[in-house]
Structure 1
Amino acid sequence: MTAKEYLSRIRRQNFILKQTEHELTEIRSDILTIRASSLAEHVSGSKKSDVADKYIRLEQYMDKVNHEWDILINMRMEAKAMIKALPDPQHQAVLYARYINGLRWEAIAVEMGYSWKGVFKIHGQALQAFEQVHHDALASKGS
């Protein structure tokens, strides 16, 4: 596994988490709509069990969101320690901003006071340094 592949997993996991949270919000909204409409209609019978089933599924989705958070937190903690082991503070800053904080290239360039080209150059150097320092760890993660 390359350094970029390893670090990009964090950005992907963050995206997965955001999508799962969005789905949870949609489900919660749907349940509230169903509950409100069933209360307004005063429908009896199986409607109460339908709403109860929805709440159970909502709880399951909340567990899924928590699980995705746990994965992301663990990935970030491990990557932070690996980034911190790099000798060059500029390399650390670019990798941290991009992969831990999820910043866009434009924001990193502005924050660091560099051009895009300068940030890309530092990023490339940082990935090379990351691979050199963590070669064995990356090799074991790739298999």
Structure 2
Amino acid sequence: MTAKEWLMRARKQEERIIALQGSKQRAYDRAVSTTARPREVCVISGGKTAPDEKNTAYIELCEEIDRQIDELNRIRTEILHVIRGVQDSTLATLLIEYYINSKTWEQVAVVLNYSYSQVVKYLHPTALREIQHAIECHI
């Protein structure tokens, strides 16, 4: 695994959580809805709908999101532990802002007071080389 792939795990995990939160909102809307859409009607003996199934779906999504957030926190902690070994504070800040805080390269450039071009063409590759060395030693 390259340094970039290793670092990107946090950003990808965060994207997964955001997608799940959208599903959670839709499940919540269905759970509290007083009108059933034709595809969502669940009939139990006696012709009654089953609101418990809607609530169960919402609860399961909440639990899954909690598990994914725990995994994101574990990944971020692991990444931060390795970044702590980067001696150059500019490079460490770049790595934290992009891979942990999920900022865009433009935002990272502003934080560092560098041009976008300097960040993506010089600083980022330099930081990745340091991380690659650190994870090779870490593993």
Instruction: Pick the TM interval, shorter chain.
Output: 0.7 to 0.9
5+ residue gaps, structure 2: 37-45
Aligned to 2:56: 56
Aligned to 2:35: 37
| CA RMSD of superposed structures (Å) | 1.4
Matched residues in 2 for 1:133 and 1:11: separation?
Answer: 20
Matched residues in 2 for 1:18 and 1:132: separation?
Answer: 31
Aligned to 1:41: none
TM-score by length of 1: 0.85
Matched residues in 2 for 1:99 and 1:45: separation?
Answer: 52
2:119 is aligned with 1:119: yes
Aligned to 1:13: 13
Matched residues in 2 for 1:118 and 1:51: separation?
Answer: 56
TM-score by length of 2: 0.87
Structure that is richer in helix per residue: 1
Q: Deviations over 1:16-35 (max 9, x none)?
A: 011001110111012212xx
What is the SS of the residue equivalent to 1:37?
Answer: coil
* More relative contact order, 1 or 2 (CA 8 Å, 6+ apart): 1
Matched residues in 1 for 2:113 and 2:19: separation?
Answer: 32
Structure 1 stretches of 4+ moved >6 Å: none
5+ residue gaps, structure 1: 39-43
